[in-house]
Chains A and B, each alone.
Chain A
C-alpha cells in the first residue's frame, strides 16, 4: 500500500531528522570540541590537540573532580540510607491512602529543584528554622553556620535527589514475591538474614537504578552549590559552566564534559551489566 509506506517514511524521517540534528550531532560536537584548541578570537579553532585533556591532569582540576565524586557519592549514600527503609515501608502499606503517599513522593520528584533549593535557604541560614529549633530544644547554644558550606550543598543534594532514590526502589519492592520472604522465615532465617540474603539481593536493581539517578545529577547540578554553597563550593558542574560562560574556553569545557560523560557512561554500563537477564524494560 502506497499510503502505508508514506506514513512509515514520514514518521521515521521526522523522528530521525529531529534526533540526529538536536541530539546526536550536538553530542558529537562536544566530543570533537574537546580536541580543539582555544583561541581568543574564535571559540573553537584548529589544530586538533590533546592539551585540554592534559590540562585536566592539573591538580586543581583533579581536586574538583575528586571533590565532586566525593560529594555525589556521599549524597548517594545518604539518600540510600534514608530512602531504602522509606521506600520499603511505603511499598508494604496495604491501604487506600498508599496512592496518595506515593503521589507525595512524586510531587518533589517532578517539581522545580531550583525552587526547592531556594526554599532550603530559609531553613539552614544562621537565623533560620533549623538553628532556631535546635537552640530552643537546647541541643546547641550558638547557631550553626550551615549556609554557604559543603554541608548545605550536601543537604541540598539529598533534599532534591531523595525522591530519585525512593521511586525505583519502591517499584522494585512492590514486585517482590512475598512467598520468598515467607519461605525464608519458614526455613528458619531471622529478620536480618532474610533482609541480607533475600530482600537486598532481589531489590538490587532498584537500588542500583536509584543510585545512578542520584549520582548522575549530583555531579552536575551547578545551581545547588551556587545557591547553597556560596563561592567556596566548586563542583564539576560549576567548572563546566564557568568554562563556557565566563572563561570562554569552550574546548576545555568540552573536554571536561567528555571525561564526565565517559565516567557516568561507565556507571550506567555497570548497572546494565548487573541487571542483564532481566526483562528489557523502559526506564
Chain B
C-alpha cells in the first residue's frame, strides 16, 4: 500500500513538473542578467526596464486592456440575457440557441477567425478596434452564458414565482433578484472572458488591423523571431495577469455553494 502511494505521488509530481517547469524556467530567465546564456548571470530587472521603456509595447498593452474590459462587459451582458432567456422562456428556436452557443464553444477558433474576416470584408468594415471588439465579445458570450445558466438552475425557482405573485415584472425580477443572486457567477464569467480576450491569438490574428496592435499578437510576432529575455519578461507579466483572473474566477465559482 505504501509503495503504491509513493508511486502515485511521484507520478502526480512528474506531471505537475511537466506543467510548471517550462513556465518556471521562463519566469526565472526573465530575471537573468545575461542575454544569450543558459547560465545564471545574476538577478536583474534589466528586461523589465527595457519593456517599460518601449512605447509601442505600452500601446499594445493599453489596447489589449481596453479591448478585454469592453468585450467582456458586452459579453457578460449578452451572455446574461441569453442565460435568462434559456432559463425562463419557452420560445421558437430555443434548441437552436443552445446549438449556436454550443457550436461557438466547440468550433475551431481558426474557422471562427476566417468566418468573421469574410463577414467584415463583405460589409466593408475596416479591420481594427471595432472588428476585434465584435469578435472577442462573440467568442466570450457562450462562456458567460454557461456560467450564468448553471447558477440560475441552482436558484430556488419559487423565488421567481413569489416575485411574480408580489407584482414584480421581469425588469424588476432582473434587477432585484437575478442580479443580486448571480453577481458572483457574472463576475466569474466576466473574469473568464477577460482572460480569453487578453490571451486570444487565433481569432484576433484574422480580424486585427494594422492600426490597432494588441499584446498577444505582438508577443506572437516577437516569438517568431526568436527567444529573447524581453519576451520572457513580457510573457511573465501577462501570465501573472491571467493567473490572478483565473484564481479569482475559481474562488467566485466556489462561493456559490
* Residues in A lying within 8 Å of B, measured CB to CB: 1, 3-4, 6-8, 11-12, 14-16, 18-19, 22-27, 29-30, 33, 43-44, 82, 85-86, 89-90, 99, 101, 103-108, 110-116, 118-123, 125, 127-129, 132, 159, 162-163, 212, 216-217, 219-223, 226-227, 237, 240-241, 244-245, 250, 253-254, 257, 260-261, 264, 268, 282-283
Contact = CB atoms under 8 A, between A and B. Distances in A.
Interface in B239-255: 239, 242-243, 246-247, 249-250, 254
Nearest first, the 9 A-B pairs at minimum CB distance are A26-B115, A7-B170, A119-B22, A112-B199, A119-B26, A11-B81, A3-B169, A22-B138, A220-B108
B177 interface: no
Contacts of B104: 19, 23
B116 interface: yes
Contact of A112 (B11, B137, B216): B216
A189 to B, nearest CB: 18
Interface stretch (B12-20, B40-48, B49-57): B12-20
Contacts of A222: 110, 202
Given A18-B78, A29-B122, A282-B150, A260 B108 contact: yes
Contact of B26 (A44, A115, A226, A244): A115
Interface string B147-164: 001100000000000000
Nearest to A82: B15
A89 B8 contact: yes
B11 A118 contact: no
B21 interface: yes
Interface residues of B, number: 82
Contact of B108 (A101, A114, A261): A261
19 contacts: A3-B171, A4-B169, A6-B171, A11-B84, A27-B111, A30-B114, A30-B115, A33-B118, A106-B250, A107-B247, A111-B246, A112-B242, A114-B216, A115-B26, A118-B227, A128-B38, A162-B18, A216-B106, A261-B108
B246 A107 contact: yes
B76 interface: no
A120 B201 CA distance: 18
B72 interface: no
B224 A27 contact: no
A30 B113 CA distance: 10
Q: Most chain-A CB neighbours within 10 Å: which of B15, B22, B29, B121? A: B22
B206 interface: yes
Nearest to A30: B115
Nearest to B112: A26
Contacts of A282: 146, 149-150
Contact of B85 (A15, A26, A27, A129): A15
Contact of B23 (A16, A18, A23, A116): A116
B26 to A, nearest CB: 4
Contacts of A7: 169-171, 174
A237 B25 contact: no
B65 interface: no
Contacts of A113: 199
A114 B247 CA distance: 20
A22 B101 CA distance: 12
A241 B169 CA distance: 49
Contacts of A240: 110-111, 114
A75 B78 CA distance: 36
B243 A107 contact: yes
Given A3-B171, A89-B12, A254 B146 contact: no
Contact of B110 (A105, A106, A129, A220): A220
Given A3-B169, A11-B85, A220-B110, A244 B100 contact: no
A72 to B, nearest CB: 11
Contacts of A125: 227
Nearest to A147: B227
A113 B19 CA distance: 12
B119 interface: yes
Nearest to B108: A220
B199 A220 contact: no
B60 to A, nearest CB: 14
Contacts of B254: 99
Contacts of A110: 192, 195-196, 242, 246, 249
**Most A CB within 10 A of own CB, among B91, B106, B196:** B106
A104 B19 contact: yes
A122 B29 CA distance: 10
